[in-house]
Amino acid sequence: MGALEIAVVSRDEDVRLEAARAFDGAPRSWSVRLHETVPPGADVLVVGPDIDYQGRAIRFHPGDARNLLRDIERCAATRNRCVYVVGAGGGSGVTTVCLHLAASLAARTTTCYVESVWGGAGTRLGFPDDHLTWADVEGPGGSLDTAVLPAAGGFRALLASRGGVVPGDVVAGACRGFEFVIVDANEDHLDSPTQAEDILAVMVVPPTRVGARRARATLAARAEVGWALITNRTGPGGDLGMAELQEAIAHPVLDHLPFTPRLRGAEDDGALLQSRLSLWTRKIDRLALALINA
């Protein structure tokens, strides 16, 4: 185990000191700092029972420090995954896929949805117009606690302000705080993170000839990205079959999301993540498991 920066967080000084004593015998490459609030940039967070933190952290309870070092090693060894979801053209249903994927992942692990540019995700999730955004994160690499909002699907949402693209340091901060980060993006946003080994890219393709052409062009332009492709049928009729679509794109397609009229109704009624959409939702769950096991 290499160098680690560990933050022990509690407003109770006795809790902080007891947790610090548990590091006797820890590797000398570990740096342990005591805090009253969650700091930015730590590799591992250890939080006391008085800290309400919904991200990736180890819970420390006074009088029970037996497994703390082992839990830190396990946490540090767990990869944080950042998934960029893009569409092959507008109207592919990327935001809807992202929100459901975040909800599915949140049932298994800590998850944050990041809206890279303003697209109305806050409205779909039922937040007021004056909700906090990633523009409210304080300074480069600042704490996300002020801006990450609890969403109905069990995940946290880092929503966009009008104008601008989410800064890379904000995404990096979310990746430090959550095991999975789902970025609602487009292919232009992949420029900075493509060298990171834990970046995954999912393309949502309408199963049409236009969608296939756009997908093939993106694949050719961004050949350095390891793409996983899914199709999302947003309307009835006129669509290509799976075999025909794969031939047109010249790339395997992981799964096909069927046309589900109830999905649009649930979105219009403000119940996007409350409704169970049978086959559509089960396929999103299957995609979530594929990402976890990637």
The yes-or-no verdict on residue 2 having pLDDT over 60 is yes
Number of alpha carbons in the 13 Å side-chain half-sphere of residue 43: 18
What is the pLDDT, as a whole number, of residue 85? Answer: 95
Higher pLDDT, 285 or 79: 285
User: Mean pLDDT of all residues in the chain?
Assistant: 84
The yes-or-no verdict on residue 250 having pLDDT over 80 is yes
- What is the tens place of the pLDDT at every residue in 176-191? 788 899 999 987 777 6
The yes-or-no verdict on residue 76 having pLDDT over 70 is yes
What is the pLDDT, as a whole number, of residue 194? Answer: 44
How much is the average pLDDT of 5-26?
88
State the Cα–Cα distance between residues 210 and 231, nearest whole angstrom: 13
What is the pLDDT, as a whole number, of residue 95? Answer: 92
Higher pLDDT, 198 or 146: 146
The backbone region for 215, taken as left when phi is positive above 0, alpha when psi lies in -120 to 50, beta otherwise, is alpha
* Percentage with pLDDT > 70 across the chain: 87
3-state secondary structure string across 112-155: EEEECCCCCHHHHCCCCCCCCCHHHCCCCCCCCCCCCEECCCCC
What is the pLDDT, as a whole number, of residue 84? Answer: 94
Best CA proximity match to 151, nearest among 131, 127, 178: 127
How much is the average pLDDT of 113-142?
84
Domains, the chain: 4-77 (3.40.50.2300), 81-292 (3.40.50.300)
How much is the average pLDDT of 46-50?
90
The yes-or-no verdict on residue 223 having pLDDT over 50 is yes
